[in-house]
């Protein structure tokens, strides 16, 4: 398959983790005879520094004409520490999501046996957790009108949702639930927010077309608690933009590190693949950032184009690296590997024509024979 992939490394650890995903995708392309073409563009603080705009037109154009976008992360402390800055890196990401119509952000959360004791949560609470968050991505309070009073003494952000915005992401979430354990939990704050009441009403109506899916509801404050107390109760979580942003970072604690959590942002036309974490500025250039969230996002890219065998191999390689402790310091304190060494290892596993590691029973996971 021929794929043109726009690469937007962004800021902080963005470039170093994205580089590992490209290594992995190139290894996949070599092994399976695909033609993947990569073209870079600037976004975020890097784009503000170079052209004064966090999402230059050329970047958006490249993304629009590419088959997919691989996104790193944006954000820089010089903006985080300056509330008066009018032009900000995060605007680049929000405009990109809006400009590409990426209304659904899909964030899978699972556990690895080897890491069950790495989580601050007890093994028995998290073992078997396997959920996916469908986060609405182009509406809600992040995109509503904002203002600050002239005297600087008050500020406003508005949260707006339309039925259509809710319906389109809800359909995707219900379809995902049908392919999984057939349970969908809507997370909202319908006891307080008008928009949440619209979500409940609309999602109940959408549910009529998915009678095989059990629908339940949780207020977001309770959901935040349940995520930690009993994450195995969840299958598909559907929620609005800001709640999804928050509970997915929280959910990353289950797996052991936010450096493992991947996502796909999809719309009618475009698709972008991005780790859920940010630019982790403290780690920039130190080789300590976990590249796996980005690499698993690349696996979601492969799935998006129905390259499921290829995506499985990438996920399998990640399992092997975790099983063999080939991990960055967030997961392996004593004997950690650098960001690029983890990438090299995964590239090696994927490139091995004999699948010696992939098919090695001693590595102790379910059988998967790659032909
Ligand atoms: N999608 C994006 O580009 C996002 C950008 N941001 C931006 O990133 C900057 C930093 O924000 P923070 O709140 O510190 O969030 P962050 O996600 O960058 O980092 C929070 C913590 O998570 C851990 N972490 C994150 N990525 C990791 C990785 N790959 N490997 C190992 N550990 C990792 C680190 O302990 C870090 O201190 C800000 O400017 C923020 O606006 C934040 C979230 C998402
Ligand atoms: C700019 C932020 C909305 C990015 C973020 O935290 C996310 O998408 O998870
Ligand atoms: Mg976030």
End-to-end CA separation in angstroms for the chain: 18
List residues bridging with 217 in a β-sheet.
186
> Using one digit for the tens of pLDDT, what is the confidence trace for 200-258?
999 999 999 999 999 999 999 999 999 999 999 999 999 999 999 999 999 999 999 99
For the annotated binding site, the residues are 97, 107, 135, 221, 245, 249
Domains and CATH numbers, the chain: 1-105+263-371 (3.40.718.10), 119-255 (3.40.718.10)
Tell me which of 244-253, 347-356, 357-366 is least confident.
357-366
The average pLDDT across 95-115 equals 97
In the three-class reduction of DSSP (H, G, I as helix; E, B as strand; rest coil), residue 271 is classed as strand
Residue 104 has pLDDT above 60, yes or no: yes
**Residue 33 pLDDT exceeds 50:** yes
Each residue of 2-29: b (16+ CB within 10 Å) or e?
A: ebebbbbbbbbbbbbbbbbbbbbbbbbb
Q: What is the 3-state secondary structure (H, E, C) of 258-283?
A: HHHCCCEEECCCCEEECCCCCCCHHH
The ipTM value here is: 0.99
Average pLDDT over residues 137-163: 97
Of 117-121, 126-130, 362-366, which has the strongest mean pLDDT?
126-130
DSSP state, residue 4: E
| pLDDT value at residue 361 | 64
276 CB under 6 A from ligand 2? yes
147 neighbors 156 (Cβ within 8 angstroms): yes
What are the tens digits of pLDDT across the range 83-95? 999 999 999 999 9
Atom 6 in ligand 1: residue holding the nearest Cα? 278
For ligand 1, whether the C-beta of 75 sits within 6 Å is: yes
Binding site membership of 97 for ligand 1 (Cβ less than 6 Å): no
Residue 295 has what pLDDT? 98
Are the C-beta atoms of residues 6 and 39 closer than 8 Å to each other? yes
Strand-strand pairing, 104-110 and 264-266: antiparallel
DSSP code, position 290: -
Catalytic residues: 142, 189, 221, 245, 249
pTM attached to this predicted model:
0.97
Question: Are the CB atoms for 63 and 8 separated by under 8 Å?
Answer: yes
The neighbour count for residue 191, using CB atoms within 10 Å, is 9
Residue among 79, 90, 104 to mutate when testing ligand 2 (max atoms within 8 A of CB): 90
- What is the per-residue pLDDT across 259-307, written as a single tens digit (0 to 9) for each? 999 999 999 999 999 999 999 999 999 999 999 999 999 999 999 999 9
Least Cα distance to 130 among 176, 175, 172, 170 occurs for: 176
């Amino acid at each position: 398959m021929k794929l043109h992939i726009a690469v937007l490394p962004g800021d902080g650890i963005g470039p170093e983790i994205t580089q590992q995903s490209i290594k992995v995708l190139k290894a996949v392309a070599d092994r399976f005879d695909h033609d993947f073409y990569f073209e870079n563009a600037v976004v975020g603080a890097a784009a503000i520094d170079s052209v004064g705009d966090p999402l230059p037109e050329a970047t958006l154009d490249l993304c629009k004409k590419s088959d997919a976008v691989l996104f790193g992360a944006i954000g820089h402390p010089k903006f985080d520490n300056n509330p008066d800055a009018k032009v900000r890196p995060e605007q680049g990401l929000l405009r990109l999501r809006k400009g590409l119509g990426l209304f659904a952000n899909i964030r899978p959360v699972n556990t690895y046996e080897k890491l069950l004791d790495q989580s601050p949560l007890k093994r028995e609470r998290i073992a078997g957790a396997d959920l996916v968050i469908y986060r609405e991505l182009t509406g809600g309070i992040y995109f509503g009108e904002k203002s600050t009073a002239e005297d600087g003494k008050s500020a406003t952000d508005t949260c707006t949702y339309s039925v259509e915005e809710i319906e389109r992401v809800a359909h995707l979430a219900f379809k995902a639930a049908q392919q999984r354990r057939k349970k969908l939990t809507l997370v909202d704050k319908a006891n307080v927010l008008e928009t949440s009441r619209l979500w409940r009403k609309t999602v109940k109506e959408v549910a009529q077309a998915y009678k095989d899916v059990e629908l339940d509801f949780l207020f977001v404050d309770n959901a935040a608690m349940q995520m930690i107390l009993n994450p195995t109760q969840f299958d598909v979580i559907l929620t609005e933009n800001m709640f999804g942003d928050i509970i997915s970072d929280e959910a990353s604690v289950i797996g052991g590190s936010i450096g493992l959590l991947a996502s796909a942002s999809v719309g009618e036309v475009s698709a972008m693949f991005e780790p859920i974490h940010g630019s982790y500025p403290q780690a920039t250039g130190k080789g300590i950032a976990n590249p796996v969230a980005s690499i698993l996002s690349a696996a979601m890219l492969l799935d998006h184009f129905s390259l499921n065998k290829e995506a499985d191999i990438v996920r399998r390689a990640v399992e092997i690296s975790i099983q063999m402790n080939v991990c960055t310091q967030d997961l392996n304190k004593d004997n950690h590997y650098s960001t690029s060494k983890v990438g090299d290892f995964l590239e090696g596993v994927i490139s091995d024509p004999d699948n010696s590691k992939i098919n090695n029973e001693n590595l102790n996971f379910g059988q998967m024979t790659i032909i």
